[in-house]
């Protein structure tokens, strides 16, 4: 079983702004992962044991996490392309690429994506003696049962990772969400399940990351209420869930008057990326403004906007964003970072043998 290129040392060639994804992570690597699923399923647990974990969740009090859990809810759309995130080669390569940013703290992902990255990290560890997940945060996504567009979307069941499984894999936390439609009893069941999940995480000494959203029904779907009044109420509801709030971070969208939302809680807040923006510069402008709203804002959880900056390499955008969060860069400095060319990396071969 052979994967021709190590993702960590592959050539990241660009041509006219287009990222050469195949040169960075050849599609044959996905075949190697499929082979490993069949022949070496224990590599997941082996890499999880070998992975060096952080001693402190947020050494500087701030976090930037890449969200890799959208397909688990049936959400694959980016800028009008309904299945953009449905190509696992593109998705996994982009996820691996942003982890070349040393200031990106880690990922939030469903078990399939976490296991794929553990397989890939193990292949690299066998070649280089270290895995690319060392020192990163791995946060498991817990409730993905509220499938987009389904009749049971508000009944957001905990169909993904459990706190027990996260502890077995030595993960670093669990993420969940509720969407509150006051007219739908399913919202109440989801909120109750979130409270129980927070208790389960606390028992395993794992932090929780909760996204509390108010929503309104529009046509056949739901639209998140992105106004400060709604978010102030949601912060109060979310902070009171479960036995304790000392291990809880909240995820909130960027809204006007975010400073008022900051005054609603003492919990640390991470800003959400939301639907894909038109340009990387717009994304950076959103986050730079949001991070300046108050001392409670401690970073970002960003998915589509980070992984898919058009057809460009996602790494410069990651480095620009982490420069704002961890490096104290202003918007102008981040935009300069965005335009810096990436150094090409040498191609190597990674062989996956018996182990």
Q: At what angle do helices 331-339 and 315-325 cross, to 10 degrees?
A: 160
Q: pLDDT tier at 275 (50, 70, 90 boundaries)?
A: confident
Q: pLDDT tier at 3 (50, 70, 90 boundaries)?
A: very low
341 versus 85: which is more confidently predicted? Answer: 85
C-alpha distance from residue 8 to each of 12, 100, 301, 332, 345 (Å):
10, 7, 23, 29, 8
- pLDDT surpassing 50 at residue 355: no
Element (H, E) at 30: helix 28-39
Judging by beta carbons within 10 Å of its beta carbon (0-12, 13-18, 19+), is residue 80 exposed, middle or buried? exposed
**Could you report the per-residue pLDDT of 18-47, keeping only the tens digit for each?**
899 999 999 999 999 999 999 999 999 999
Averaged pLDDT for residues 63-81: 95
The pLDDT score that the predictor gives to residue 17 is 72
Of the CA atoms within 13 Å of residue 143, those in its CB half-sphere come to 27
| Residue 242 per-residue DSSP state | S
The pLDDT score that the predictor gives to residue 220 is 79
Distance, in Å, from the CA atom of 104 to the CA atom of 62, rounded to the nearest integer, reads 11
The pLDDT score that the predictor gives to residue 1 is 42
- pLDDT surpassing 80 at residue 129: yes
Biggest alpha carbon–alpha carbon distance for the chain: 57
Averaged pLDDT for residues 259-288: 92
Nearest Cα to Cα of residue 7 among 24, 23, 28, 30: 24
Of 167-176, 219-228, 245-254, least confident by mean pLDDT is 219-228
Give me the torsion for CA of 197, 107, 267, 165, rounded to 10°.
20
- pLDDT surpassing 90 at residue 303: yes
Q: pLDDT tier at 273 (50, 70, 90 boundaries)?
A: confident
- pLDDT surpassing 60 at residue 188: yes
The pLDDT score that the predictor gives to residue 58 is 98
- Output the six-digit token pair for 120: 């890939």
Q: pLDDT tier at 274 (50, 70, 90 boundaries)?
A: confident
Averaged pLDDT for residues 297-303: 97
C-alpha distance from residue 48 to each of 20, 53, 66, 138, 270 (Å):
30, 9, 19, 10, 26
- pLDDT surpassing 80 at residue 348: no
- pLDDT surpassing 90 at residue 266: yes
175-189 burial by CB neighbour count: b if 16+ within 10 A, else e?
A: bbbbbbbeebebbee
- Output the six-digit token pair for 315: 């790494």
Distance, in Å, from the CA atom of 36 to the CA atom of 94, rounded to the nearest integer, reads 21
- pLDDT surpassing 50 at residue 11: no
Averaged pLDDT for residues 188-193: 98
- pLDDT surpassing 50 at residue 107: yes
Task: Provide the residue count of the chain.
Answer: 355
- pLDDT surpassing 70 at residue 353: no
The pLDDT score that the predictor gives to residue 342 is 67
The pLDDT score that the predictor gives to residue 343 is 60
Proportion of the chain above pLDDT 90, given as a percent: 85
The pLDDT score that the predictor gives to residue 339 is 85
The three-state DSSP-derived secondary structure of 75-126 is: CCCECCECCHHHCHHHHHHHHHHHCCCCCCCEEEECHHHHHHHHHHHHHHHH
What is the overall mean pLDDT for the chain?
91
Averaged pLDDT for residues 280-304: 96
């Amino acid at each position: 079983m052979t994967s021709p290129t190590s993702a960590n040392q592959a050539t990241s060639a660009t041509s006219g702004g287009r990222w050469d994804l195949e040169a960075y992570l050849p599609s044959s690597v996905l075949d190697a992962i499929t082979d490993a699923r069949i022949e070496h399923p224990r590599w997941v647990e082996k890499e999880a044991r070998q992975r060096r974990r952080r001693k402190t969740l947020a050494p500087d009090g701030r976090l930037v996490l890449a969200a890799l859990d959208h397909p688990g809810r049936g959400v694959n759309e980016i800028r009008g392309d309904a299945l953009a995130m449905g190509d696992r080669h593109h998705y996994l390569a982009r996820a691996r690429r942003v982890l070349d940013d040393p200031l990106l703290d880690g990922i939030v992902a469903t078990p399939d994506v976490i296991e794929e990255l553990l397989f890939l990290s193990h292949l690299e560890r066998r070649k280089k003696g270290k895995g690319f997940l060392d020192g990163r945060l791995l946060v498991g996504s817990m409730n993905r049962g509220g499938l987009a567009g389904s009749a049971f979307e508000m009944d957001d069941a905990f169909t993904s990772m459990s706190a027990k499984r996260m502890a077995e894999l030595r993960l670093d936390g669990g993420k969940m969400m509720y969407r509150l439609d006051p007219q739908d009893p399913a919202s109440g069941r989801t909120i109750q399940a979130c409270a129980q999940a927070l208790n389960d995480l606390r028992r395993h000494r794992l932090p929780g990351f909760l996204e509390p959203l108010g929503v309104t029904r529009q046509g056949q779907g739901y639209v998140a209420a992105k106004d400060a009044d709604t978010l102030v109420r949601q912060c109060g509801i979310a902070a009171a869930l479960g036995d304790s709030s000392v291990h809880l971070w909240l995820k909130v969208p960027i809204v006007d008057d975010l400073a008022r939302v900051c005054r609603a809680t003492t919990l640390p807040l991470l800003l959400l990326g939301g639907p894909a923006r038109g340009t990387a510069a717009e994304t950076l402008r959103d986050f730079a403004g949001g991070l300046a709203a108050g001392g409670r804002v401690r970073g970002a959880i960003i998915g589509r906007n980070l992984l898919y900056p058009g057809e460009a390499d996602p790494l410069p955008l990651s480095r620009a964003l982490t420069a704002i969060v961890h490096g104290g860069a202003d918007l102008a400095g981040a935009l300069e970072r965005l335009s810096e060319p990436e150094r090409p990396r040498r191609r190597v071969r990674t062989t996956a043998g018996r182990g």
